[in-house]
A and B are shown apart, each in its own frame.
Chain A
Amino acid sequence: MSDTQHLGGARIGVVTFPGTLDDRDAARAVRLAGGIAVPLWHADADLHGVDAVVLPGGFSYGDYLRAGAISRFAPVMETLVDAANGGLPVLGICNGFQILTEAHLLPGSMVKNDGLAFLCTEQTLVVENATTAWTRDYTQGEQITVPLKNQDGQFVADEHTLDELEGEGRVVVRYAGANPNGSRRGIAGITNAAGNVVGLMPHPEHAVESGFGTAAVQGPRAGTDGLKFFTSVLGSLVRA
């Protein structure tokens, strides 16, 4: 059996909350990577036997209380927190990252961007940890470009937590060049101690297919640097 056939068996859940925007893009990224995208619903506590879960971007519950604060209490999250603590790979993108911090699966929190403006840009990142379930198809130090679009994207944590994240190699991706939103130490993504839960502010799911991605040497919109987040987890599942 070829690798592709192995990968085809992996079922990746994509959760939709009220206000989620990027669930279709995340599902598409899963399919382009060779997996089967399984829609999951915020009010359904059942994970339907998926092999991994993506919490996509958006503005769950309007972010009216705080970004991700209400989603944390959704029935699907009660189940997901236990599953993630048990080793299920979980990727939170943008609002999904905010939900993971509110659920205490990842440390720190998000506040409004330093410049107060909503950001929408093609952002270059440095992959600092290529050993997590979601980044093992990248190489350490690799530079990738994916879209960044957020309002509350400034990652904050106390100095002790930041030192711990750095010391344990849990900074997954960092902003290359100028810090776009004031995030502490330029952190764009982190992982839990086990490496199965990853939170990212930028959006890899928007750079997975040539013609619909970021600018690249091959031409405008030709960039597909985000795809390896999704192939990584499929590879992790095959090896697991």
Chain B
Amino acid sequence: MGRVVVDVMPKPEILDPQGKAVAGALPRLGFTQFSSVRQGKRFELEVDGPVTAEVLAAAREAAEHVLSNPIIEDVVTVFDASDDVAAG
């Protein structure tokens, strides 16, 4: 079974209210090392067979047209994570 990972992040110029809330909470909990936080989304798309070039192209198209809104978000990465144990 193959797996494709798509990472989507809010655009840098868009204020990210969720990241801002987390950034505010961290120092209150003792994590004072981090000056800012941005929160994005990770999608894991599974296929029955291997991740072919076609599958990756389809994942890229889905990432651009459905999984992200280009007005407010960037597709950061689309990659074959079939052998990525951490992803399982």
Contacts and interface: CB of A to CB of B under 8 A. Distances in A.
Contacts of B10: 111
Contacts of B26: none
Contact of A113 (B14, B16, B17): B17
- Of the four ranges (under 10, 10 to 19, 20 to 34, 35 or more), the interface on chain B belongs to 10 to 19
Contact of B14 (A65, A115, A156): A156
A114 B17 contact: yes
- Of the four ranges (under 10, 10 to 19, 20 to 34, 35 or more), the interface on chain A belongs to 20 to 34
B88 to A, nearest CB: 23
A45 interface: no
B21 to A, nearest CB: 5
A149 interface: no
Nearest to B16: A111
A154 B15 CA distance: 10
Contacts of B66: 65, 69, 73
B62 to A, nearest CB: 11
A66 interface: yes
Contact of B72 (A73, A113, A156, A182): A156
Contacts of A112: 17-18
B71 A109 contact: yes
26 contacts: A65-B67, A66-B69, A73-B66, A101-B71, A102-B69, A107-B71, A108-B71, A109-B72, A111-B10, A111-B15, A111-B16, A111-B17, A111-B72, A112-B17, A114-B15, A114-B17, A115-B17, A116-B17, A116-B18, A116-B21, A154-B17, A156-B14, A156-B72, A158-B13, A182-B15, A182-B17
